[in-house]
Amino acid sequence: MVWFKIARASLMSLSWLQMRWGFEMAVMRINRFDQDRGYITKSGIKRIARDRDVTEIGDAHQAVAASKPVRSREESEHCLLVVLHAKSQELSTLDRELLYVACALSESSDAALAVHAVVFGAIAPQPWAEYGVDRVSVFDDTIWDQYVPEAKVRELMQLHTALKPVHTLFCESEFGDSDLARRLAVALKLPIATQIYEVTETHVRRTLGNGRYQAQTALPPIMVLEAGTVGDLDLEFVSAPVEQMLHAPGDLVTPSLEERLSLPSSEIPLAEAEFIVSAGNGVANMETFHRFAKALDATVGGSRVVVDDGKLPRSCQIGATGQLVKASVYLGIGISGAVQHLQGIKECNYVIAVNLDETCDLVKRADLAVIADAETWMQSVIDRMEVSA
């Protein structure tokens, strides 16, 4: 049965979709998960933060991981296949979201489904057990960094034939995973659902019409998930220790001619930037700051104080009331680290703080801290970069 909660003018086009696709579909407007709601942390502190506390990390995280039950499904006959691409030998937050969804599906299934990760590109050792992964296949040859979708499809088809996965999961990323998923679906003649933003044990919900509508359908064999499908990446279990199985490229791999084009860092939106340099109240000379960011070819961001003072446009504000960023490297200069700002950088892989105050919250959050005057330190880095050039 098809039912709608949309404008009457859209009924004809939606009926066409049902006839075209030939499966039962419900199209509706769904209020997404409200990430701006308040909550109270375990320590009793009220937060306007989004979904989880980012200040309780380190030893506490390791203790929690050690206390979780171990799930061992390495020898399971049935599995879920998760296709990933390593960037700078690491997994992105979106990759971890995909693994989390796979683990949730494996737990909700009546069959003992193993989570089998397939990684294209060289990757550093990962805490696969914490991600709930039972088996890992790595295609680490440099050939996979090039545009070779046909070769990837061939390798995936071989794995699919050997493993017969119940579901194969991809993510909507800059590596063309959604294109790869469509190619695989055509090659295997299997149904596919793309632009998925919600997954349950029985169905998925996805966007249609350039985001104007949402559709619901049963779990398809091949799924492509958007970023933000899950909010919390904390599993209730860990898997048994797993080793990465390396796969050599086949004889038929023939790289295509490609030309990679890149945008200047100043034109990259903060939400998509990989390297961000952010200014706080401790930055007295914004001219030096901009020269510093240009020398490092980094995207510029800032704290709320800097934006309110008119030193940077509102689009550069990072935090719960500004932009949420997922950079590989975030460099905060002269930023104390208010709660709202920490929420904006919680998904960054590496955080570097430059501040005179070694007790400030951003220094505590940082993976690397530099205790120095912002102006002096930035100028010294600029001088070093000019000498190196």
Query: Are residue 365 and residue 238 in the same domain, yes or no?
Result: no
Rounded distance between C-alpha atoms, residue 118 and residue 135, angstroms: 9
In a domain, 61, yes or no: no
Q: Tell me, yes or no, whether 168 and 295 share the same domain.
A: no
pLDDT in tens, 301-314: 999 999 999 999 99
89 and 203, same domain (yes or no):
yes
d(CA 348, CA 197): 21
Query: What is the number of structural domains in the chain?
Result: 3
Question: Residues 370, 312: one domain?
Answer: yes
In a domain? residue 159: yes
Per-residue confidence (pLDDT) for residue 24, from 0 to 100: 37
> Which is higher by pLDDT, 338 or 56?
338
What percentage of the chain carries pLDDT values higher than 70? 79
DSSP assignment letter at 10: G
Q: Are strands 26-28 and 213-218 parallel, antiparallel or unpaired?
A: antiparallel
Residues 290 and 237 in one domain: no
Q: In terms of domains, do 241 and 137 share one?
A: yes
Q: Are residues 113 and 4 in the same domain?
A: no
Say whether pLDDT at 86 is over 60. Answer: yes
Mean pLDDT of 354-378: 94
Residues 154, 94 share a domain: yes
Shared-domain flag, residues 95 and 217: yes
Q: 378-386: which pairs have CB atoms within 8 A and are 24 or more residues apart?
A: 378/288, 378/289, 378/291, 378/292, 378/333, 378/354, 379/288, 381/292, 381/295, 381/296, 382/288, 382/291, 382/292, 382/295, 385/295, 385/296, 386/295
Q: Which residue has the higher pLDDT, 146 or 35?
A: 146
The pLDDT of residue 363: 94
pLDDT of residue 53: 43
Q: How do residues 94-124 score in pLDDT, each as one tens digit?
A: 898 999 999 999 988 878 899 999 999 889 8
Q: Which residue has the tokens 């980012």?
A: 54
Q: How confident is the model at residue 18 (pLDDT cuts 50, 70, 90)?
A: very low
The pLDDT of residue 29:
33
Residue range 55-69: mean pLDDT, rounded: 54
CATH number for position 382: 3.40.50.1220
Strand partners, 218: 203
Write down the pLDDT at residue 66. 60
Secondary structure letter of residue 103 according to DSSP: H
- Strands (DSSP E) contained in the chain are 26-28, 39-40, 46-47, 70-71, 78-85, 113-120, 135-139, 167-171, 192-199, 203-208, 213-218, 222-225, 238-239, 244-246, 275-279, 299-302, 329-333, 350-354, 368-370
Which one has a higher pLDDT value, 11 or 299?
299
pLDDT in tens, 201-214: 899 999 888 778 88
Residue 107, domain extent: 68-246
Of 212, 246, 280, which residue constitutes the final position of a domain? 246
Q: Note whether 103 and 23 are same-domain residues.
A: no
> Distance (Å, rounded) from C-alpha 143 to C-alpha 178?
20
Amino acid 65 reads A
Q: What is the mean pLDDT of the chain?
A: 80
CB 241 within 8 A of CB 129: yes
DSSP 225-274: EPTTS-S----S-EEPP--EEE-PPPTT--PPP-------GGGS-GGG-S
Q: Same domain for 242 and 290?
A: no
The CATH number of whichever domain residue 145 belongs to comes to: 3.40.50.620
Q: Say what the pLDDT of residue 212 is.
A: 84
| More confident site: 43 or 140 | 140
Contact in structure between 295 and 381 (CB atoms under 8 Å): yes
Q: How many residues does the chain have?
A: 389
Q: What is the pLDDT of residues 255-271, one digit of tens each?
A: 555 566 777 888 888 98
Domain membership flag for residue 259: no
What band does 341 get if pLDDT is binned at 50, 70 and 90? very high
Domain check: are 211 and 359 in the same one?
Answer: no
DSSP-derived pairing of the beta strands 192-199 and 222-225: parallel
Confidence of residue 25 (pLDDT cuts 50, 70, 90): very low
Query: Residue 224: pLDDT above 80?
Result: yes
Asked if the structure places residue 39 within a domain, the reply is no
pLDDT at residue number 232? 67
**Rounded Cα gap, residues 286 and 375, in angstroms:** 9
Identify the residue with better confidence: 166 or 45: 166
Higher pLDDT, 255 or 249: 249
